[in-house]
Structure formats: C-alpha cells, structure tokens
C-alpha cells in the first residue's frame, strides 16, 4: 500500500551463547548438518521463541506492532558456516542494548537505552526516492511483507576500537533493492534516519554535533553484496529503539557508523551522497569506512580491538582483521583502489 508520509512518524531478550552452542552441537550430533549446511527440510524457519529468552528487567523498549510480532513467529536460523555465522562468543543482550552510539538520544553510550522510552516505531513509513521505477512513501508493513526473516551472526566493529558479536534478524538489502527497480543511473544509495525531537532528546541538545538528519550511503555494488543486511531484530526479537527500531542497516565489513539506524528514507542516486561523518570531519571518517587495521584513525588505533563485554579484570583485546574478517566476500569490490586514500 502506498501511503502519504505521516507527520508523526517518529524496539529483546537474551539467548545465552551456551544455548546457541548446545543447539548447534545437538544438530551436528544428530547428523542434521550436511556439507556445512542444513538439510532442506530443516533449513527452514524456527520459532522466534527458540532464539530468545527473557529480556533484562527494566529495559525500556517500544512494543512492536502486532503484524511485526507475527513476522517473528518463524525465522530461518543462521547456517553454521561463514560468512553468515561465526562461532565466536555472542555479546550478551544487555551489552548489545545498553552500550550504543545513537546520538539522537544522547552522546554517552548509556543514553540511547536510558532516553528512548518515548520513541515510537509504529506507525512507520519509508520513502523510496531517486533513480527507481517505483518511488513513493510506503508503510513499513508493506516494505517487509514479502521478505522472510533470517538470522545472521555478524561481528560488529566500531571505529572507536571496540567490537561485538550480534545475532541479527532481517533480510538481504539486495532483495529490497530489486523490488523498487533501480534504473541504470542508480550508482549509490543514500539512507536517512528519522528526526523526532519530541522523543529523541539528543536532537534538542545544545551539545549536539550532528546536522540532522543522520545520513549514510553505499555504492550500489556494496548494497547488493549478499552480506549487506536490513535488520529488524536481534536475539530473536524485534529491535529495541536504541538499536535502530524498527529497521536498520548492517554492513559487517565496515565500521559501525555506516550501519545507519531507524531508516525513514532510501534514496537512489547517480552521484556519491554526502554523509554525516564525512561532512563533520572528512579527515577522520571516509565514505567507504572499511575496517582496515593498516589505516589508523587519528584518535584510535585500528589494528587491535576491545571485544565487549569487558571488566577491570577481564579485558579481551584481539587483533582486528581486514574487512572485519569478511575479506573473502568483499575485497574484490575494491580491486585497484588505494584503501589508505579511499578509507
């Protein structure tokens, strides 16, 4: 259904890593994995309840719409093979949802979970614009309706040199792109985050450093890569507000700021878009933002990372991999490019 854009367009529970590991060990022991993938009749959906447990008490999230909850009744499990799965320890749900960069809710890591209680992700619509055959403003329900949800367990690497491992729920961005029929002129895709100063106190803050709306972009071949993911959930449940409800981008070989949250506009362009961090400080943040241990940020070394969670007595510092470990799938996209220049 094509709708007019509403004026008020303004998300979660932990499955311990041991549960995931037990599930996979059982499957292997039962002979359910063949050649590293599931048998066809078992590769299908599983109840979202099997991928989650109770959320931490007191967590502030906006309830999902009933139609979105229905989408989570069946989710295709991540295969036990790279690149859509890693057997590294999952970052606990509490850390994934309480340690966030989402400046619309505040500058501190705890601000998004503390300040997002008034955020509403229903109703929601997404504008499709630019060089496409089917532009318009679409209800999120119609955006998601044709897409079956699947689980992807990806590493997330922040330019601030910390990292997580997160079990996302969503679908390939390429599947969405094809539906709206981009023209031959569509070389880049630009995304925008919602601006809602009533429920996002960071927007009203006099200390805000961002010129809203938050904008990010990809080259078309990056967007069409099978790894590029539109996430609508994590840990088997819909996204909390602080993680980008109701729909966000996940690009696992790039620094986290490329994975824009709470998307309200997708614009297909012939030219490279201006993006928020490039506009703020182009010397520190490039358009491509590929994870590259050989190119350091002025404030953070990029050859090592802190894998969260950490405590005073348990600090996990590990080497950073080129392209965050996804080089086999994406390095060819940048053949012949000087990645110390096009960072």
CATH code of residue 23: 3.90.420.10
267 marked as part of a ligand binding site: no
In this structure, are residues 87 and 18 in contact, taking their beta carbons and an 8 Å threshold? no
292 marked as part of a ligand binding site: no
Please report the pLDDT score of residue 213 as a whole number. 98
**d(C-alpha 291, C-alpha 333), whole Å:** 14
140-156 pLDDT, tens per residue? Answer: 999 999 999 999 999 99
128 marked as part of a ligand binding site: no
Average pLDDT rounded to a whole number, residues 296-313: 92
Percent helix, strand, coil in the chain, to 5, is 25, 25, 50
Please report the pLDDT score of residue 314 as a whole number. 84
In this structure, are residues 153 and 236 in contact, taking their beta carbons and an 8 Å threshold? no
Please report the pLDDT score of residue 57 as a whole number. 53
Query: pLDDT averaged over the chain?
Result: 86
Q: Provide the whole-model pTM.
A: 0.85
38 lies in some domain: yes
CA 61 from centre of chain: 17
Whole-angstrom CA distances from 215 to 212, 258, 259, 341 are 8, 9, 10, 22
259 marked as part of a ligand binding site: yes
261 marked as part of a ligand binding site: yes
Q: Give residue 50's pLDDT band: very low, low, confident or very high (50, 70, 90).
A: low
35 lies in some domain: yes
Q: What angle do CA 91, 94, 61 make, to 5 degrees?
A: 130
96 lies in some domain: yes
Q: What angle do CA 234, 176, 43 make, to 5 degrees?
A: 55
Q: Taking the CB of residue 153, how many other CB atoms lie within 10 A of it? A: 22
18 marked as part of a ligand binding site: no
2 lies in some domain: no
pLDDT at 7 over 80: no
Q: Give residue 207's pLDDT band: very low, low, confident or very high (50, 70, 90).
A: confident
284 marked as part of a ligand binding site: no
Please count the structural domains in the chain: 1
32 lies in some domain: yes
244 lies in some domain: yes
122 lies in some domain: yes
Question: Which structural domain, as residue segments, surrounds residue 76?
Answer: 17-288
Query: Which residues, 6+ apart, have CB-to-CB distance to 190 below 8 Å?
Result: 130, 215, 216, 217, 265, 266, 267, 268, 269, 273, 275
Please report the pLDDT score of residue 208 as a whole number. 87
34 lies in some domain: yes
């Amino acid at each position: 259904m094509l709708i007019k854009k509403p004026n008020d367009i303004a998300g979660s529970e932990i499955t311990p890593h041991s549960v995931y590991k037990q599930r996979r060990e059982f499957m292997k022991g039962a002979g359910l994995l063949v050649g590293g993938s599931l048998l066809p009749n078992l590769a299908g959906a599983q109840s979202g309840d099997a991928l989650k447990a109770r959320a931490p008490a007191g967590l502030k999230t906006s309830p999902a719409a009933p139609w979105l909850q229905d989408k989570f009744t069946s989710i295709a499990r991540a295969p036990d093979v790279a690149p859509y799965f890693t057997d590294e320890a999952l970052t606990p749900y509490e850390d994934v949802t309480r340690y966030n960069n989402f400046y619309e809710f505040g500058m501190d890591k705890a601000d998004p979970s503390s300040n997002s209680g008034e955020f509403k992700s229903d109703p929601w619509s997404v504008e499709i614009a630019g060089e496409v055959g089917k532009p318009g403003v679409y209800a999120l329900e119609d955006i998601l309706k044709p897409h079956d949800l699947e689980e992807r367990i990806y590493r997330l690497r922040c330019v601030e040199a910390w990292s997580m491992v997160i079990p996302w729920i969503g679908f390939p961005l390429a599947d969405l792109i094809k539906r709206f029929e981009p023209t031959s002129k569509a070389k880049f895709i630009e995304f925008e985050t919602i601006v809602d100063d009533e429920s996002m106190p960071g927007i009203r803050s006099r200390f805000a450093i961002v010129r809203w709306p938050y904008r990010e972009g990809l080259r078309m071949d990056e967007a069409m890569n099978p790894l590029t993911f539109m996430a609508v959930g994590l840990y088997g449940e819909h996204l909390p507000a602080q993680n980008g409800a109701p729909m966000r981008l996940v690009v696992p070989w790039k620094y986290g700021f490329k994975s824009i949250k709470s998307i309200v506009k997708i614009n297909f362009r012939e030219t490279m878009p201006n993006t928020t961090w490039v506009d703020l400080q182009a010397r520190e943040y490039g358009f491509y933002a590929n994870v590259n241990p050989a190119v350091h940020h002025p404030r953070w070394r990029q050859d090592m990372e802190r894998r969260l969670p950490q405590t005073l007595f348990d600090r996990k510092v590990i080497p950073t991999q080129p392209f965050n470990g996804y080089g086999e799938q994406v390095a060819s996209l940048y053949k012949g490019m000087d990645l110390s220049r096009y960072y």
